[in-house]
Amino acid sequence: MPAKRPPPDFRVGHFDVHNVEEWQGEFASPQNLFAGFDAEDFGSFAAAIPHDYYHPESDSIYAYLQSWLICTDGLTILYDTGAGNDKPRPGIPVFGNLKTPFLDNLSRAGFAPEDIDVVICSHLHIDHVGWNTRLRDGEWVPTFPAARYLMSRIDRDYWDPGVARVQPTETGAQVNAQVFEDSVQPVLDAGLAEFVDDDFEVAPGITLSLAPGHTPGHLVLELDSGGERALFVGDILHHPAQVYRPEWNSVYCEDQEAARKTRRHILQRAADTGARVVPAHFGGAHTVWIDHSDGGFLPRFQADENTTAASTGDKGDE
């Protein structure tokens, strides 16, 4: 068992939040990541994007795979589980047969797999369900044996080859090849899965809401405690460029129109409430705040005095 627990990366009211890194690296050019990319338009704001997120010298988006631990009063939640180790991934070879020290990083944050009470998958894509399972004696078994795994019912129906009525897009099918079989089905077989629809209360102050488009059942997690808020938005936001240009989807968004609508809605909510936004793949400080600007939005990479929810003495209803 891990001995000593380091301080959290940040707090949201009474919730402690720890980042657990799995992988980082140059992932793709903006041209290849964004549907509807416009190089000239990108050039008009690219200089404002920190080097943590974009490397102009190689024209590469810099990305992370990471999980978030959310802890309160004897409850430990793991939000998203990365790509996992040892998994053949012909659809995205960069995430295939990884040998990362993810479980060591979890241990360094002060947690063993047995400590996790709840696993939440924002959606059932290749790089969000990987550590759901690990290889034991040639079989995929749940990594977190004491956890209940919360997943979107809509995403399960969409990606389960035994259930699916609607076919994923060609890109979706390619990217997610074998993923359900080795990273979701073993959790179902072990009886650890619980399916979530919309407006689901995980615990007081922790809500999952449906945010469809990137995948049809994508879930956003909202923390609300002591007058502070955070939105764990998964793949609604891959990159700061999408704050400047919410209409730029990733090429991995299953329903392009719904994804645009959801992104605008989430950005609006973040700007209106002053919530800290926690996207799945952000490097740097890993989180961002959203400001209104001329009918659009701007990213802010550090909390500052303008943040409405923090340190105003507004303690909400607690």
Interface with Zn ion (CB under 5 A): 125, 235
DSSP reduced 3-state for 301:
coil
The DSSP bridge pattern shows strands 54-55 and 60-72 to be antiparallel
CB of 138 to Zn ion, least distance (A): 28
Least distance in Å: CB of 11 to Zn ion?
27
Pick between residue 87 and residue 125 the one whose CB is nearest to Zn ion.
125
State how far the Cα of 35 lies from the Cα of 47, in Å rounded to an integer. 21
What is the biggest distance separating any 2 CA atoms in the chain, rounded to whole angstroms? 57
| Least distance from Zn ion to the Cβ atom of residue 298, Å | 24
Minimum Å gap between C-beta 235 and Zn ion is: 4
Residue nearest to Zn ion (CB): 125
DSSP secondary-structure letter at 288? Answer: B
Q: Shortest Cβ distance from residue 176 to Zn ion (Å)?
A: 9
Q: What is the DSSP letter of 115?
A: G
Residue 298, judged by CB atoms within 10 A of its CB (0-12, 13-18, 19+), counts as middle
Q: Which is nearer to Zn ion, 125 or 276 (CB)?
A: 125
250-267 residues labelled b (16+ CB within 10 A) or e (exposed): bbbbbbbebbbebbeebb
Q: Which tokens belong to 182?
A: 């080795």
- Of 22 and 235, nearer to Zn ion (C-beta) is 235
Strand partners, 179: none
> In the complex with Zn ion, which residue's Cβ is closer, 30 or 82?
82
Q: Residue 125 or 269: which CB sits closer to Zn ion?
A: 125
Give the nearer residue to Zn ion in terms of CB position, either 222 or 235: 235
Work out how close the CB of 229 gets to Zn ion at its nearest, in angstroms, rounded to a whole number.
23
Q: Which is nearer to Zn ion, 228 or 235 (CB)?
A: 235
Q: Which one, of 68, 93, 95, lies nearest residue 84 by Cα? A: 95
Q: How far is the CB of 125 from Zn ion (least distance, A)?
A: 3
Q: How far apart are CA 83 and CA 131, in angstroms?
A: 6
Residue (of 218, 227, 267) closest to 245 by Cα position: 267
